[in-house]
Structure 1
């Protein structure tokens, strides 16, 4: 499976292209919001999400039939930014059979940690 083409379809909210990456019986779990989706529900949730999006793949790992990605997803105007860690189980025909994702808003450290003056920024946003 071409993971870069998959993420391009996600970011471009291309429903037709997205469907080609999944088995019909696949499912997607968004653990941070406790949601379980069929393929069609996932595509609808992704493609109807408001805004115009872009992103950067920060890391790709392959372990057997599992592809793990870390992606920074952000609005074109840079008003919103998220990081998502995705665990994609791939079947022999290079289609996703299950995907478990963890989405997080990008934000500053909480005030209590800033007041302790511990840690440093990884990079400037």
Structure 2
């Protein structure tokens, strides 16, 4: 499975292309919002999400039948930024399970800034 092309299909919200990457009974979980989706539900949630999107893959790790994908995703107007870590289990070259963890990007909380610790990653 070409993980970069899968990511491109997600970002471009390409419903027809996304369908090609999943087993028909795949399970997708968004743990931060306590949601579980079947393939059709996941594709609907992804493709009908408002706005047009850009993104970049920051890291890919492969271990046996699992791909770990770390990405930054943002609307084309750069009004927000998110990071997502996806644990993707592959079976027969298709996604059988995907566990995703989404986070809003932003400044460190005030209590930690007051401590004057840490430095910016970028």
Work out whether the TM-score is over 0.5.
yes
Q: Which consecutive residues of structure 2, in runs of 5 or more, have no partner in the other structure?
A: none
Provide the rounded CA distance (Å) in 1 between the counterparts of 2:16 and 2:80. 25
Deviation at 1:78, TM superposition (A): 0.7
User: 1:70 aligns to what?
Assistant: 70
Instruction: Map Cα deviations across residues 10-58 of structure 1 (whole Å, 9 max, x no partner).
Output: 0000011001000000010000000000000000000011011010100
Q: Which consecutive residues of structure 1, in runs of 5 or more, have no partner in the other structure?
A: none
**SS of the residue aligned with 1:32?**
helix
Q: How many residues align?
A: 122
User: 1:46 aligns to what?
Assistant: 46
**TM-score (norm. length: structure 2):** 0.99
User: 1:117 aligns to what?
Assistant: 116
- Write the mapping of 1:1-125 to structure 2, written as runs, cut at 5 A: 1-91=1-91, 93-123=92-122
Instruction: Map Cα deviations across residues 60-94 of structure 1 (whole Å, 9 max, x no partner).
Output: 00000000000000111111110000000000x20
Moved over 4 A (4+): none
**SS of the residue aligned with 1:8?**
helix
Provide the rounded CA distance (Å) in 1 between the counterparts of 2:48 and 2:102. 17
Root mean square deviation, CA, Å:
0.5
**TM-score (norm. length: structure 1):** 0.96
